[in-house]
Structure 1
């Protein structure tokens, strides 16, 4: 099977040459493009999530042979979460080769964090199906690069850390409130306020609710710990 020059160039950015290019074609085909003659990448996303998880878990154990599970788990979560997968996808310009339906194209699908993250997982699964686990492992470790070695010693996300801080002082969990939403539907911008029952609060703005919540939690943690 021959693939387009666009996908051939993407394979080079990916650093993997497919023996069966149909694996790659399926991995970059979003559900909005599904047809009786074309499979989408949803099942590959499911598989790729598991392959990525095993590779990262193994890499973390090798990188720190004394860390307890309590520290390994948040590091793992930081490396496999949606934001990191989407970051890697942007690194290799995966969005440029996605096969999207008209509605997704119009709504800015090539830039959507969730769509990019899912497609990145599908590409990992495609490599696994094409070349086996060793090939997928090599690709993940190369693409994730220094992230594995540089993940924070305590990689708990800010929301978790803030909740633990509050609970340790007998407070109820922090409350997150959406105070504003601006921008077009395909590229919204959210402003989130996080509040503690004892009074302190902070706001943050980002292109997703999750990122805005994390940023607000980070700001509030700095405030209450200063």
Structure 2
């Protein structure tokens, strides 16, 4: 069952003691452990709950149009933001990883941290209900919502518009390299605009790498 440190961590996170320890343990468990149940089902649920809470929050907070609200929502529920929130609360120390996943740096992997963060939201929803889970999300996402996540135009959209404004063909993305095991994969992507140049960047997903490449291109040529 849960160790004392993890029990205290979850109590502080949710604002109350975990009532179904087996479920919370499942939320913290990566498939590399070989356990019968891991976090994936709870992650599926938590992803939807997080999206609902953030959407409701933004609707009440901002008098913006649908496009701007969607832009902020996508940024605030992204894997990168979930991983940043997970790091801020010290989640990595409480995740259950197999030896290989630990050796591969899984404790600081955006993929795993983001997934487990969503799984904990799912566990909170199942055991404590929507209202308590909304309170938890609003507390630990406060810095992200109060910051600039999603405020600026997405780098890929900005690059697309830059190309059009400069009468160039649209950017072309290609995968340069995929490395690492599935649970800690790294993707290197290049983006090119014919007649201008190209830039490369690496991320933990194709989407993240493409975004970083577009940002790098704009810094170099924009």
TM range (shorter): 0.7 to 0.9
Q: Is the 8 A contact 2:188 2:209 kept in 1?
A: yes
The correspondence for 2:116, drawn from 96, 115, 119, is 119
Higher deviation after alignment, 26-35 or 113-122: 26-35
Pairing 1:83–2:92 present: no
Per the TM alignment, residue 139 of structure 1 is displaced from its structure 2 partner at its CA by 0.7
Per the TM alignment, residue 29 of structure 1 is displaced from its structure 2 partner at its CA by 1.4
Q: In structure 1, what is the equivalent of residue 24 of structure 2?
A: 24
The correspondence for 1:98, drawn from 95, 99, 111, is 95
The correspondence for 1:73, drawn from 58, 70, 73, is 70
In structure 2, distance between residues paired with 1:173 and 1:163:
6
Per the TM alignment, residue 92 of structure 1 is displaced from its structure 2 partner at its CA by 1.7
SS in 1 for 2:29: coil
In structure 1, distance between residues paired with 2:178 and 2:172:
18
What runs of 5+ residues in structure 1 fail to find an aligned partner?
Answer: none
SS in 2 for 1:61: helix
Counterpart mapping for 1:27-176 below 5 A? 27-35=27-35, 38-64=36-62, 66-152=63-149, 154-167=151-164, 171-176=168-173
TM (normalized to structure 1)? 0.82
* Count of residue pairs the alignment pairs up: 220
- Cα RMSD between the aligned structures? 2.8
Per the TM alignment, residue 25 of structure 1 is displaced from its structure 2 partner at its CA by 1.0
In structure 1, distance between residues paired with 2:178 and 2:33:
30
Per the TM alignment, residue 159 of structure 1 is displaced from its structure 2 partner at its CA by 1.7
What runs of 5+ residues in structure 2 fail to find an aligned partner?
Answer: none
In structure 1, distance between residues paired with 2:105 and 2:144:
28
TM (normalized to structure 2)? 0.83
